[in-house]
Amino acid sequence: MTIPAFRDQRELPDDDGYFSGLRADARPSWDNPSMPSWPESQEQQQYGQQQYAQPQYGQPYATPDNYPRGEFAEVSMTDATGWKAGTGVPVQDERPPGESTSGNRLFTVLLFFSGLGTSIALWLFNTQPGAISNTATMMIAAGRVTGLIGGYLLFIQLLMMSRVSWLEEWVGSRDLLRWHRWLGTSLLTFVVAHVVFIVYGYALTAGTGVVEQGWTVITTFPEMISATIATGLLVFISMISIRAVRSVLNYELWHLIHLTSYGILLLGYGHQIAAGADMNGRFASVFWPALGCITIAALFWGRVVEPLWLNSRHRFTVAEVVGEGANTFSIYIEGKRLDKLPVQAGQFMRWRFLTANGWWQSHPFSLSAAPNPKWLRLTVTIAGGHTRKLATMRPGTPIWAEGPFGTFTAERRTRRRALLIAGGSGIAPIRALLEDMPADTIVIYRASRPDELVFRTELEELAEERDAWVRYIVGGRNDPGPRRLFTPEGLRGLVPDVNRRDVYLCGPPGLVNAAVDTLKELDVPDSQLHLDPFEF
């Protein structure tokens, strides 16, 4: 079976005539004397003359004689000829779609703090006036409050891990990941504080030592052994989640250990019910069970029901594996009713390839082409044993998928112009996003060597069709061009109106962090930054 190339799959909007004068044969020069230029050199000319045709699924693309919409601006720091921002002619475009969802994050934060305030208020309603009269009762009260906060954070943590689609669409995977990490640290802090305050308060009341009282609490209070195990699991998971420790663990082992956090809920909830005096009040007896039911229902729906429905409906299989360049290959995926798959360009899914040695591993991969009714495409850079084995898969290999996830989509755009920045394998979602972006989009593609550039032909053809422009920044991190890229002068030199654009960033953490720092210096608001960093 031959699947046509991407350009035959999607209808592109007609040119409205405005950008026809900005094509390659009529490129104006930069005329801003305040910005240092990117001078031309022989290296740039050499790179610009090389051709990098990429093998395609089904039928190879013909390599064009030139790349009218792409330009190298790498080590040689070429003169920034080509499309020029700020021409003074208004861009005709629809209202940016992201404006309608810009309040989701604020509403979610307010909802979180409302629930947190409710959990603390329940303790206030259940505490008699004058109950706190000395140091011992103050410590016990502090222990109860921190315990309630810890219990609430545990439920929210698990809710954010549920992968339920409505939460992913409402908030987005990146914000959920950030909040999950921040709340994980807070959860550990409040649980440890709960233990310390309670044991110390009871020790003062009984007139015994802290260690002795701690042993008494563990061995005599109901459900305390399970609570102790839950606390130990929480401390252990927190330790392996430290960035330095996580970096030395492979993804599969880290993820497997992280799943034990479900056990914390089961072990800790019994302790809360049996020993939590603030769990049984008039309102608390409704609030806490309701919160628990919502969390468990979301986990069951997101982890079981939605994946079963997705895979029974679409029945994904490997169609073909195609090499793309140095250590990079694409996996083309077939399935049933792909036109009904609710995935957008820029999103990712968790893919489990059911091979003899890979069925137990699930990895997140972004689409590298906008979805169409005939096939999906993932593009993978070899980074270990698992990804290396994926390159040898045979057509027909069954796939188990979950998702889609993420808000790294054109629908989150809040401005009428966009800048897409990719590094390394981060070009996969950026390449897909370009199909959904408006005219006037600029793509900056960072790579170490020219042979690492993948999808160059596709990028050039898409840029020509969509009135977009591509800039290649190629070279080592200490070469002049790449060093200049993420400086205020260098980035503004390539994109003078950068602070009036939505900026989509995808690449290694170092590239993302450097770009974000530079964009902050250029007064790009957080609302215009869309990140999809390579982290787990």
Q: What is the pTM assigned to this prediction? A: 0.71
Q: Residue 183 to residues 151, 187, 193, 251: CA-CA distances in angstroms?
A: 12, 6, 15, 21
* Fold of the domain built from segment(s) 410-533: Rossmann fold (3.40.50)
The DSSP bridge partners found for residue 445 are: 422, 472
Residue 475 identity:
G
Q: Which residues contact 60 (CB under 8 A, 6 or more apart)?
A: 53
- pLDDT of the residue at 226: 75
- CATH number assigned to the domain covering 315-405: 2.40.30.10
Summarised one tens digit per residue, pLDDT across range 313-371 is: 999 999 999 988 778 899 999 999 999 999 999 989 999 999 887 787 788 899 999 99
Question: Residue 315: left (phi > 0), alpha (psi -120 to 50), or beta?
Answer: left
Q: Which one is predicted more confidently, 513 or 258?
A: 513
Higher-pLDDT residue of 391, 241: 391
Domain locations in the chain as residue ranges: 102-302, 315-405, 410-533
Q: Do 315-405 and 410-533 share a fold?
A: no
- Asked which of 233-242, 326-335, 385-394, 524-533 is least confident by mean pLDDT, the reply is 233-242
| Per-position b or e across 409-446, b if 16+ CB within 10 A of its CB | bbebbbbbbbbbbbbbbbbbbbbbbbbbbbbbbbbbbb
Question: What mean pLDDT value characterizes the chain?
Answer: 76
Tokens found for residue 244: 């330095």
> How is 443-461 classified by DSSP, letter by letter?
EEEEESSGGG--SHHHHHH
The pair of three-digit structure tokens given for residue 295, joined into one six-digit string = 């969390």
Tell me what percent of the residues of the chain surpass a pLDDT of 90.
23
Among residues 109, 181, 190, 125, which one has the least CA distance to residue 152?
Answer: 190
What pLDDT shows up at residue 217? 80
Burial class (CB in 10 A: 0-12, 13-18, 19+), 248: exposed
Residue with the larger pLDDT of the pair 320 and 425: 320
